[in-house]
Amino acid sequence: MNHQINIGFETAVEDEAEVAALIRTCALRVLESEGVPFCAEIDVTVVNADTVREMNAAYRDKDAVTDVLSFPMYEFVNGAPQERLEREPDSGRVMLGDMVLCYTRACEQAAAFGHSPARECGYLTTHSVLHLLGYDHERGDGDARLMRGKEEENLAFLGLTREA
């Protein structure tokens, strides 16, 4: 599949090219592992804590810094679309939605959890793409286990274990 992951940085990141490559790799892995049968597109924006806090307050009514926000374009349930998907006229791709990743929060969490920023960014990317595909850990224990299993499976495939 010719999926496209668009990545923009609205905050300074020391190793921008490396972070962008990691995000792209993780997002593409999830799309591949889920067997997405169409060319998908995802927009990713890497932001700072102030920006993600403003967005979290505006869109989720939660005035707090968070690590990642997912804004799906379509309704999916556990990878199955619940509505007709429209292809973009110019590219032929289906826009799955937007991901907003707070890099500073990811680095803080990596330090707190005792693993690398790469592992944390990989986890957050995997988590967000699964949300765009309709997986939701807040629907109940069964859905939470399903989503967590898919996260760990994809991260293990990429070598981004908790020790990484």
Task: Say if residues 54 and 102 touch (Cβ distance below 8 Å).
Answer: no
CB 134 within 8 A of CB 162: no
Strand partners, 68: 101
Task: Give the angle subtended at the CA of 150 by the CAs of 33 and 108, to the nearest 5°.
Answer: 115
3 annotated as ligand-binding: no
127 is known to lie in a ligand binding site: yes
Separation of alpha carbons 147 and 142, rounded Å: 9
Q: How far apart are CA 164 and CA 90, in angstroms?
A: 39
131 annotated as ligand-binding: yes
Question: Could you give the C-alpha distances from 92 to 14, 40, 74, 87, in angstroms and in order?
Answer: 34, 9, 16, 5
Q: Which residues are annotated as a binding site for Zn(2+)?
A: 127, 131, 137
Q: Which residues are annotated as a binding site?
A: 127, 131, 137
